[in-house]
A and B are shown apart, each in its own frame.
Chain A
Amino acid sequence: MTDQAIRVEHLVKKFDGFTAVNDISFNVSAGEIFAFLGPNGAGKSTTIKMLTTLLRPTSGQIRINGFDPTREQNKVRQSFGIVFQDPSLDDELTAHENMEFHGMLYRVPSQLRKSRIKELLDIVELWDRRNHLVKTFSGGMKRRLEIARGLLHHPSIFFLDEPTLGLDPQTRNQLWNYILNLNKTKQITVFFTTHYMEEAERMAQRIAIIDHGKIIAHGTATELKVQTHTSSLEEAFLSLTGRAIREEEASGLDKMRLRRQMWRRH
């Protein structure tokens, strides 16, 4: 075992000539909470997909707990849990069935599966709703269920791609309490992406600011402020990128997501 949970060197991803991730390098120590902060289209999700075996890098090196996601896929997959940016639950199944199937896919023995499902659904306060179909859940409940599901096989690294996007402040706080608590009690390494400044500042021990596929700065929130001679992360970001993190108008991607959600309800 190494104490670097994630090691990335000169990682590049090109889509038909368009460079989405452009030569990034960073490390995340075991037990650390690490934030990827960046605007829409910065390359956050693309990076997560490469770290989690869903996309092959165009070039560069990745090590997840010492394993290479392009060659030792199953070892890597066993070692992380993930909450995707877009929901990935089966709506036609109950909360409990979603958990149960996840546990089976990850070969968690049935006795252990049972007790962990109970424990996790209790933590995210969904035990009482376990036999309800997921399609009857609110956005916040679905997120909570995804978090519980992602932790069922006791991963050592937890990836969260914009975990609080679109949730109200109260639900956001509640979610972070679960995550911080898990980080403390189980020493889980947390890698999350966000475009909320205050979320990065409050939750992460270290932050990497990514824009147009490049990491333009990284360090603790304090270091970033000192580096840029600014007094808030907001200003630091502005000074590094020359613009605010998110234009008020919804981006094309956000509109697409909204359309999907409407489709889904059709």
Chain B
Amino acid sequence: MLAIYVLWLRQLKRYVRSRSRIIGSLGQPILFLVALGFGLGPVFRRAGNGNYIDFLAPGVIAQGILFTAIFSGIELVWDRQFGFLKETLVAPVSRMSIMIGRTLGGATIATMQGMVVFLLTLVIGFRPYSLAHLPLFIVLMFLISLFFTAVGTTIASLLEDFQGFQLIMNFLVMPLFFLSGALFPLSGLSPVLTLITQINPLAYGVDGLRGALIHSSHFGIGLDIAVLAGLSVIMLTVGSYFFSRIEV
């Protein structure tokens, strides 16, 4: 238990200290909100879909979480190359608790990052329909964070170095985001795109956030939470397995 806490705390301290990273990571959400929100807003409204900024904000929050979570999982590669991982692996604690501590730490900072982006969307003009679902919103952010941190950690357990990193960004993270319905409504899509969004875990995350913030959900919040929680458990199990096999 103490080991989990130590590794969690370490991630948190690193995050809070990396102010430039936090600020730097706000660039993309701002770009999406301004360029797409204000650029496509009029078209969106004319098509009878309502306020695009309100629609977009949950998607942009999900994007902030996705990137932070994957990155903090991938940070394992860094620790492995530059040594801190070894310090934890020779300590008298189980691999399982190291993996869980790291993942919970990553998930916590991804949730905090989601909160920061949320505040940013408020500044830019997003108005949630009510704040009654704020706890639900936070739970959903945490589940998205947990799942994608576990994905990042699992990938990192299989990577020897950063060679594969660009590949992961281009062929996993970007498609996950663009095909999640973060930018467009899920109803009335072509059958292929419908199928893709149905198997994209982030789609359930975006949908859940939309449900909590603007009370419009395509799959239903219950299903969103169930899918994210189930996938998190699966991914943590798979990740723990691969993590336990790391040799340094």
Tell whether, in the assembled complex, residue B248 and residue A49 are in contact, meaning their CB atoms are under 8 Å apart: yes
- Distance, CA A149 to CA B90, complexed state (A): 13
| Stretch of B78-86, B103-111, B124-132 at the chain-chain interface | B78-86
Q: B235 interface residue, CB < 8 Å from A?
A: no
Q: Which of B10, B82, B87 contacts A260 (CB 8 A)?
A: B82
Q: Which of B83, B88, B93 contacts A87 (CB 8 A)?
A: B83
- Distance, CA A105 to CA B45, complexed state (A): 56
| B3 surroundings in chain A (CB, below 8 A) | 104-105
Tell whether, in the assembled complex, residue B90 and residue A101 are in contact, meaning their CB atoms are under 8 Å apart: no
Map CB proximity to A onto B1-43 as digits: 1 under 8 Å, 0 otherwise.
Answer: 0110110011001100110000000000000000000000000
Given contacts A89-B84, A101-B10, contact A106 B92 (CB under 8 A): yes
| B14 surroundings in chain A (CB, below 8 A) | 90, 92-93
Q: Please give me the residue from chain B that is nearest to A159 by CB atom.
A: B90
Tell whether, in the assembled complex, residue A82 and residue B92 are in contact, meaning their CB atoms are under 8 Å apart: no
Q: Please give me the residue from chain A that is nearest to B86 by CB atom.
A: A88
How many residues of chain A are within 8 Å of chain B by beta carbon?
32
- Distance, CA A91 to CA B18, complexed state (A): 12
Tell whether, in the assembled complex, residue A88 and residue B91 are in contact, meaning their CB atoms are under 8 Å apart: no
| Stretch of A25-33, A51-59, A218-226 at the chain-chain interface | A51-59
Q: A97 interface residue, CB < 8 Å from B?
A: yes
| B85 surroundings in chain A (CB, below 8 A) | 88
Q: How large is the interface on B (under 10, 10 to 19, 20 to 34, 35 or more residues)?
A: 20 to 34
Q: A202 interface residue, CB < 8 Å from B?
A: no
| B89 surroundings in chain A (CB, below 8 A) | 53-54
Q: How many A-B residue pairs have CB under 8 A?
A: 72
- Distance, CA A263 to CA B89, complexed state (A): 23
- Distance, CA A49 to CA B84, complexed state (A): 15
- Distance, CA A97 to CA B6, complexed state (A): 10
Map CB proximity to A onto B108-137 as digits: 1 under 8 Å, 0 otherwise.
Answer: 000000000000000000000000000000
| B18 surroundings in chain A (CB, below 8 A) | 92
Tell whether, in the assembled complex, residue B82 and residue A53 are in contact, meaning their CB atoms are under 8 Å apart: no
Shortest beta-carbon distance, A86 to chain B, in Å?
A: 5
| B248 surroundings in chain A (CB, below 8 A) | 49, 54
- Distance, CA A188 to CA B3, complexed state (A): 26
Given contacts A49-B248, A92-B14, A93-B10, contact A102 B82 (CB under 8 A): no
Shortest beta-carbon distance, B94 to chain A, in Å?
A: 8
Q: A78 interface residue, CB < 8 Å from B?
A: yes
Tell whether, in the assembled complex, residue B92 and residue A87 are in contact, meaning their CB atoms are under 8 Å apart: no
Q: A239 interface residue, CB < 8 Å from B?
A: no
- Distance, CA A91 to CA B2, complexed state (A): 22
Interface centre among B5, B10, B89, B92 (most CB of A within 10 A): B92
Contact sample, A vs B, 10 pairs, CB 8 Å cutoff: A54-B247, A54-B248, A75-B92, A77-B91, A84-B83, A89-B87, A101-B6, A105-B6, A105-B88, A106-B92
Measuring CB to CB, which residues of chain B are less than 8 angstroms from any residue of chain A?
2-3, 5-6, 9-10, 13-14, 17-18, 81-93, 247-248
